[in-house]
Amino acid sequence: MSLKKILAAGAALTMVTGAAYAGNYGSKDKAAYGDKMEKADIVDTAVAAGSFNTLVAAVQAAGLEETLRGDGPFTVFAPTDDAFAALPAGTVDTLLKPENKDQLVAILTYHVVAGKTKSKDLAGKTLDVATVNGAKVSVDGTDGVKVGGANVVTADIWTSNGVIHVVDAVLLPPTQ
The per-residue pLDDT of the chain, averaged, comes to: 82
Per-residue pLDDT at 14? 31
Q: What value does the mean pLDDT take over residues 47-52? A: 94
Beta bridge pairs of residue 120? none
Q: What value does the mean pLDDT take over residues 153-170? A: 96
Contact between residue 138 and residue 116 where contact means Cβ atoms under 8 Å apart: no
CATH number of 3-167: 2.30.180.10
What is the rounded distance in angstroms from the CA atom of residue 31 to the CA atom of residue 154?
10
Q: What would the pLDDT profile of 125-158 be if each residue is shown by its tens digit?
A: 999 999 999 999 999 999 999 999 999 999 999 9
Instruction: Give, in order, the Cα–Cα distances in Å from 21 to each of 5, 45, 139, 161, 167.
Output: 23, 8, 30, 16, 21
Q: Determine how β-strand 162-167 pairs with β-strand 74-79.
A: parallel
Q: Is residue 84 classed exposed, middle or buried when 0-12, 13-18 and 19+ CB atoms within 10 A define those classes? A: buried
Task: For residue 13, count other CB atoms closer than 10 A to its CB.
Answer: 18
Amino acid symbol at 151:
N
pTM of the complete model: 0.79
Residue among 114, 130, 7, 113 at smallest CA distance from 59: 7
Report the range of poorest mean pLDDT among 14-23, 104-113, 147-156: 14-23
- CA 77, 157, 8, 63 dihedral sign is positive
Q: Is residue 5 classed exposed, middle or buried when 0-12, 13-18 and 19+ CB atoms within 10 A define those classes? A: exposed
